[in-house]
Structure 1
Amino acid sequence: MKRIHVTSREEVLRILGAALPELRERYGVRRLALYGSFAHGQPGPESDVDLLVELERPLGLVFVDLVYDLERKLGRKVELLTFDTLKFNQEHPRYQEIALNIQRTLTNVETPTR
């Protein structure tokens, strides 16, 4: 099987959009969004894929399975944060700038329409 190695914002959004129904069913993903270098459209050869997720329920250690599943689908390392973490960081002066930078590039993943 050929290993996928995403190289563009469009590829990431297409692959994740197609996977969203499965991610909802398996992990309770309510919302998934891209930020960072891929969202900017300027990933480098070693760039990871930065994602935010909102979940229906806490996953515990299954959260790690979600990360591995996303990495397998994209062929890149994935940094996965929750929207709750983003909200927490917005409320604390030490992390506000980071949270603002994330919000500036945030792109929601959508299920493709047919």
Structure 2
Amino acid sequence: MKKSLRRAALTLPAIVAAGLVGVGGAAPAQADPIQTLSCNHGHTNKDSGEGRTKTRMRYRTGPHTSCSAYAWVDKGTLIYYHCWTTGESIEGKRTWTWGRIAGTQKQGWFSDYYLSDGGATKQC
């Protein structure tokens, strides 16, 4: 019984698509799956490393450029690393470091592409 229900569920989309071809002349194009980008990534202070920014850059609420930016930091700013995660690829580099700007309580996500030594070594 379970196999027949599963088979029916798998063939139903094909039947519907065939019916649409008959009505409209062509099957509708399949949409690419929508990727949900989250700006709410967990982080903890697991890493004792530090590094400097290679250029003036923004640090963000999440590891994607679509996430809000807190502010700009200047080239050479010292960042204390907490941990890293994967996010949006910047120039082929998909890792981002959660860190704190030295001498402040300001924290956020920094693309590892813009960090002098590639960012944190401990995963969030």
TM-score normalised over the length of structure 1:
0.22
TM-score normalised over the length of structure 2:
0.21
Higher relative strand content: 2
Larger Rg: 2
